[in-house]
């Protein structure tokens, strides 16, 4: 099993939302598991290579403001995962799983 600590993850704030970008070359959208829990975005990706090696990526991103968990969206294109986390004044539900679109 190979862990890749060098994959870049960035957090940006735009009007009304946070955006997280994660560079995940070699993974596909089906390899990615996203979850929102206790003010943190949990990003996990696991992929088995043709050589039989398992590649694992695991990051947690803390967001300083409340997020509308029902409005979180994610896409994966050109080896980059993009997650949009709309800011909310209400408390977010804990333990929300997020689908990754193409």
Number of domains the chain contains: 1
- pLDDT level of residue 3 (50, 70, 90 thresholds): very low
Residue 94: is its pLDDT beyond 80?
Answer: no
Q: What average pLDDT is seen over the chain?
A: 85
Domain coverage including residue 91? 2-98
Q: Are 85 and 41 in contact (CB under 8 A)?
A: yes
Q: Are 46 and 37 in contact (CB under 8 A)?
A: no
Q: Tens digits of per-residue pLDDT, 17-47?
A: 999 999 999 899 999 999 999 889 999 999 9
pTM: 0.79
The predicted structure's pLDDT at residue 5: 53
**Nearest CA to 36 among 91, 92, 102, 90?**
92
The predicted structure's pLDDT at residue 1: 45
Q: Which regions of the chain does DSSP assign to beta strands (E)?
A: 2-3, 9-14, 17-23, 32-37, 40-48, 54-62, 73-77, 80-86, 96-98
**Nearest CA to 61 among 79, 82, 30?**
82
Q: Which CATH number belongs to the domain containing residue 20 in this structure?
A: 2.60.40.790
Q: Tens digits of per-residue pLDDT, 45-54?
A: 999 888 888 9
């Amino acid at each position: 099993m190979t862990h890749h600590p060098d994959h870049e993850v960035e957090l940006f704030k735009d009007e009304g939302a946070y955006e997280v970008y994660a560079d995940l070359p070699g993974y596909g959208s089906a390899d990615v598991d996203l979850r929102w829990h206790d003010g943190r975005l949990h990003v996990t990706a696991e992929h088995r290579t043709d050589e039989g090696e398992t590649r694992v990526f695991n990051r947690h991103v803390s967001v300083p403001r409340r997020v509308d968990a029902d409005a979180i969206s994610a896409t994966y294109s050109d080896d980059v995962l993009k997650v949009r986390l709309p800011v909310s004044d209400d408390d977010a539900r804990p333990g929300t799983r997020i689908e990754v679109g193409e």
